[in-house]
Amino acid sequence: MSEETVLVVGGGIAGLALARALRARDLPVEVAERSAGGTGGLAINLPGNAVAAFAALGLGDRLARFGRPIARREYRSARGKLLFAVDEDEFWGAEARPRCVRRSDLLTLLSDGLDVKVRQPVEVASLDGLEVTFSGGERETYGFVAGADGVRSTVRAALFGATSVSASLLSAASWRFMAPNPGVDCWTVWSGAGGAALLIPVDDTEVYVYASAVRGGPVDADPSWLHTTFGGYPAPVRAVLDSVRDRPDALLHSPIEEIRLPSWSSGRRVLIGDAAHATAPVWAQGAALAIEDALVLADLLAEGDWDTVGARFEQHRRPRVTHVQAATDRFARAAGLPIWLRDRLLTIIGTRTYEETYAPLRDPAWRTEAW
């Protein structure tokens, strides 16, 4: 392969977004993705800055055909009391209205019409400088390598050795599933001492359900944890749990892991998305940060001088990622307070916390000329 080409390792949200952004700037790019297909039917919540990043990729209109807009958020106690609510429509505006979308639709959207060579299912087995060895034993040298290969990144290991992956402060794992909508019309979370259950409508008939602990520590991989933890929660939560009682295959249990690194690059090799900064989905910033990373990196690569791109990328992206990590930690610590205190606090500072977290993210951080 030509040494003018960028290799993107990983064809998830970050990798596909980067491949699209590079093609839009006429830069040669290849993608290597180890899995054979999409990621099933679970969904993802896209706050306004994620929606705006899709628009910057040229996919705004097409994104609007998938999932459902989210006009309002409600934070409720385990007994159903409304602690605070946010008018998301007003906060983000019509151009960046949050959405909940199936992950498989998102990956289809990002890969649809993408005119690049995708090696799939092919794993990047190792990296020596810019020489890449693929799972079949083939070796190629590229001009630049972007590691968009997620929490367990091979590229990160090649750059920095074994770096630690830490469990989220909020919850070491989560359960996710789809269920018939029990009558919820907006993003709604019920949170108590044992755990938080979040329901988001993904279309007219189904909701996406996310359930986790709130004070750190393990979440049992036996589905009975869900019924024990949330059995006394309000009717909508009990209804979605009932709908999966006899469908354990519909349930996805997965760890919530974080990556905090002092550096994201080495020479002409850069980490983006979860490989660089996986963060617990407290503020649902995973997709947004991944696509913003892709837009910034593509702009910098298009400017030239690939030897300095890594340092410039970090300079652009570090403040925004640090802001999200700090907001995530603050929320996780508040969630661990005694429930009577936490609920009282949320009624007072909930709306302000939402605004302080998201207001800086409304700025279009992917425009490098803005910095």
Residues at the site binding ligand FAD, with contacts judged by CB under 6 A: 9-15, 32-35, 44-45, 50, 123-124, 148-150, 154, 174, 176, 254, 256, 273-274, 281, 284-288, 290
Q: Give strand ranges (E) for 229-354.
A: 252-255, 257-258, 265-266, 269-271
Neighbours of 242 (CB within 10 A): 13
Cβ closer to ligand FAD: 41 or 345? Answer: 41
Give min distance, CB of 343 to ligand FAD, in A: 24
- For the bound state, the minimum distance from the C-beta of residue 108 to ligand FAD, rounded and expressed in Å, comes to 14
Q: Which residue's CB atom is positioned nearest to ligand FAD? A: 286
Distance between CA 97 and CA 87 in Å, rounded? 11
Output 78 or 321, the one with its CB closest to ligand FAD: 321
The minimum distance between CB 341 and ligand FAD, in angstroms, equals: 27
At residue 9, the 3 state secondary structure works out as strand
Of 49 and 343, nearer to ligand FAD (C-beta) is 49
Return the beta strands (E) in 43-182 as ranges: 43-46, 68-69, 72-77, 82-87, 99-102, 117-119, 124-128, 131-134, 139-141, 144-147, 166-167, 173-180
Element housing 209 (H / E): strand 206-212
CB of 172 to ligand FAD, least distance (A): 11
Nearer to ligand FAD, 201 or 286 (CB): 286
State in angstroms the smallest separation of the CB of 15 from ligand FAD. Answer: 6
In the complex with ligand FAD, the residue whose CB is nearer, 285 or 328, is 285
Residue ranges of the alpha helices (H) in 336-359? 339-358
Contact by Cβ (8 Å): 122, 32? yes
Give the span between the Cα atoms of 223 and 217, in whole angstroms: 16
Q: What are phi and psi of 305, to 5 degrees?
A: 50, 65
Pick between residue 150 and residue 192 the one whose CB is nearest to ligand FAD.
150
CB of 258 to ligand FAD, least distance (A): 10
